[in-house]
Amino acid sequence: MTTLTLSQSKPVERPEIKEKYDHFIGGKWVAPTSGEYFDNISPIDGKVFSKAARGNKQDIELALDAAHAAFPTWSKTSAAQRSKLLNKIADIIEENLEMLARIETIDNGKALRETRAADLPLVIDHFRYFAGVIRADESSISEHDEHTVSIALHEPLGVVGQIIPWNFPLLMATWKMAPALAAGCCAIVKPAEQTPTSIMVLMELIGHVLPPGVLNVVTGFGPEAGKPLASSPRIAKVSFTGETTTGRLIMQYASENLIPVTMELGGKSPNIFMKSVADADDEFFDKAVEGAVMFALNQGEICTCPSRILVHEDIYDVFMERVIARTKAIKMGHPLAEDTMMGAQASNDQYEKILSYIDIGKQEGAEVLCGGDKAELNSGLETGFYIQPTIFKGHNKMRVFQEEIFGPVVSVTTFKTTEEAIAIANDTMYGLGAGLWSRDAHELYQVPRAIQAGRVWVNCYHNYPAHAPFGGYKKSGFGRENHLMMLGHYRQTKNMLISYDKNKLGFF
Ligand code: NAD
């Protein structure tokens, strides 16, 4: 992942977290209409650390009212004005990076070294990126003929719904909010019920920057708050990140209103290690070994988790020996501790799901090369959701090679030829990420071209710069996030043909 050095953040020992958070609607904190709140459990110790408003259709309607009231004015603001506000948001996040990183860790369970060095710097950079590109992206004017001018203008789509997963609560929200706001849309964001707190703390910090109603956040469960948002005839688009099965439902809701959707869904990404990896110098070999262990980053809860290792059979022994040793050296511990490399799974449900997949792998005959169980931690972490990084060896037809586990579990298989590696890589329903490690110039270009995935990392893995388009092939979704092209998902084009000709058209 990208690491940026940021120096302006205020030091924080213990971030202040409220007992409960309301919705953020129309620039104000609004209690849920039902009066109900739900527990937010920290995966660090399995204990409740805050409560979030339990949103429903009525709350979504209030947010829609606020967003529709704000849209006529917001949509007419200049790109320069919106850019200034997005930069201001980025500055505030930068000043509070340490606090937000800690809250994200408490909310999600991932190690502080990741939230501090990767998640939050990327959040800041995405706001700055869209603050910049919106100013550079001009509407176009061309001459149809010497009397007629064609003007193509971008207009914001309107009020949009954005539904967020729990694996990168702040970053996934930013991937959606920054381009929508830059484009001049008003947004209603529905965070995941497992991780609502860090986004509400962010709203405490940045809520005042934007005019009331431009950005609204309604917390709650998928069927209660997400469904009325995605099914509403009052939104112009829904952008969704989450499971492929949920994505299918969201598309059904959106189809009733004939509105566009973008879908960022699941994955089962192959990480391919060609024979030339072992011919290379030690430094590159070591980098490739680390590339294989990247399956454990973010506890494996990344849609692009390199969850299948495909390694050339001639280098299997020498390569996997090093990969296993490096995996065993991963330090697990309290996610807020500076030296912790891998923290807790985001929720008890996710923890149980991963353990059940470890059982499935064992039952279907996959060999456990390391890990293969929960991690027993002490000092107050006994009740948290910790799993050992696990490596299976098997074949690509096994369920642990085909189904998204979304945990620190990788399945390894071998190949003999480049064609076989490509065939195995493409043999899943997903097509989100992939990795290729090689020293051969031909392979470095031809293999990524042959892989059916929206992002192929070559001799690296898991960086997510704002200017690089990201998204899925096949059942991993459609539409893209990040990059200038993202603005196209939040705008429509108005074409004006203007005649300066004094003559009649000549038909009637
Ligand atoms: P999920 O589908 O369970 O939930 C995602 C969001 O959808 C949550 O906010 C949830 O409340 C909401 N939701 C659930 N049911 C709904 C319904 N019926 N109507 C409306 N909203 C509903 O996914 P998750 O478990 O939070 O996230 C993990 C999944 O996300 C994994 O499959 C992962 O691959 C995927 N993911 C994909 C990307 C990507 O960019 N492709 C990025 C991150 C995560």
Indicate whether 67 and 151 sit together in one domain: yes
Rounded CA Rg of the chain = 24
Q: How far apart are CA 104 and CA 116, in angstroms?
A: 9
**Does residue 108 belong to any structural domain of this protein?**
yes
Amino acid at the residue 222: G
Which two structure tokens, joined as six digits, stand for 420? Answer: 């076989």
CA of 227: how far to CAs of 68, 98, 352, in Å?
A: 19, 34, 25
User: pLDDT 10s digit of each residue in the chain, 508 long?
Assistant: 444 444 457 766 667 899 999 999 999 999 999 999 999 999 999 999 999 999 999 999 999 999 999 999 999 999 999 999 999 999 999 999 999 999 999 999 999 999 999 999 999 999 999 999 999 877 789 998 899 999 999 999 999 999 999 999 999 999 999 999 999 999 999 999 999 999 999 999 999 999 999 999 999 999 999 999 999 999 999 999 999 999 999 999 999 999 999 999 999 999 999 999 999 899 999 999 999 999 999 999 999 999 999 999 999 999 999 999 999 999 999 999 999 999 999 999 999 999 999 999 999 999 999 999 999 999 999 999 999 999 999 999 999 999 999 999 999 999 999 999 999 999 999 999 999 999 999 999 999 999 999 999 999 999 999 999 999 999 999 999 999 999 999 999 999 999 999 999 999 9
DSSP state of 331: P
**Does residue 4 belong to any structural domain of this protein?**
no
**Does residue 236 belong to any structural domain of this protein?**
yes
Indicate whether 261 and 280 sit together in one domain: no
Number of compact structural domains in the chain: 2
Q: How far apart are CA 179 and CA 503, in angstroms?
A: 44
Tell me the CA–centroid distance for residue 257 and ligand 1, in Å: 21
Coil, strand, or helix at residue 50? Answer: strand
* Active site (annotated) includes residue 264: yes
Q: Please state the atom number of ligand 1 nearest to the C-alpha of residue 166.
A: 26
- Ligand 1 atom 12, closest CA: 222
- Ligand 1 atom 40, closest CA: 264
Indicate whether 35 and 114 sit together in one domain: yes
Coil, strand, or helix at residue 371? Answer: coil
**Does residue 213 belong to any structural domain of this protein?**
yes
In a 13 Å sphere around the CA of 353, the CA atoms on its Cβ side amount to 14
Indicate whether 341 and 482 sit together in one domain: no
**219 Cα distance to chain centroid:** 18
Indicate whether 256 and 291 sit together in one domain: no
> Nearest-CA neighbor of 452 among 485, 424, 413?
424
Indicate whether 38 and 135 sit together in one domain: yes
Structural domain of 454: 270-458
DSSP state of 342: B
Tell me the CA–centroid distance for residue 166 and ligand 1, in Å: 8
Residues with CB under 6 A from ligand 1: 163-167, 172, 190, 192-193, 221-223, 226-227, 230, 241-243, 246, 249-250, 264-267, 303, 404, 406, 432, 472, 476-477
In contact, 249 and 243? CB cutoff 8 Å: no
DSSP state of 226: I
- Ligand 1 atom 26, closest CA: 165
Indicate whether 34 and 140 sit together in one domain: yes
Torsion sign (Cα): 231, 232, 236, 241: negative
Q: How far apart are CA 257 and CA 107, in angstroms?
A: 34
**Does residue 499 belong to any structural domain of this protein?**
no
**Which CATH number belongs to the domain containing residue 408 in this structure?**
3.40.309.10
Residue 240 has a pLDDT of: 98
**Does residue 41 belong to any structural domain of this protein?**
yes
Q: How far apart are CA 142 and CA 122, in angstroms?
A: 37
Residue 291 has a pLDDT of: 98
Residue 2 has a pLDDT of: 40
Coil, strand, or helix at residue 256? Answer: helix
**Does residue 145 belong to any structural domain of this protein?**
yes
Q: Is the ipTM of this complex over 0.90?
A: yes
Indicate whether 278 and 357 sit together in one domain: yes
**Which CATH number belongs to the domain containing residue 241 in this structure?**
3.40.605.10
> Nearest-CA neighbor of 365 among 393, 340, 332?
393
Place of tokens 């495909």: 310
> Nearest-CA neighbor of 182 among 282, 87, 312?
87
In contact, 219 and 191? CB cutoff 8 Å: yes
Of 104, 264, 404, 443, the active-site residue reads: 264
Residue 265 has a pLDDT of: 97
Residue 6 has a pLDDT of: 47
Residue 69 has a pLDDT of: 98
Our mutation pick for probing the ligand 1 site, out of 246, 250, 256, 483, counting the most ligand atoms within 8 A of Cβ, is 246
Indicate whether 428 and 490 sit together in one domain: no
Indicate whether 254 and 277 sit together in one domain: no
Q: How far apart are CA 282 and CA 327, in angstroms?
A: 18
**Does residue 9 belong to any structural domain of this protein?**
no
Tell me the CA–centroid distance for residue 486 and ligand 1, in Å: 20
Indicate whether 32 and 63 sit together in one domain: yes
Indicate whether 368 and 224 sit together in one domain: no
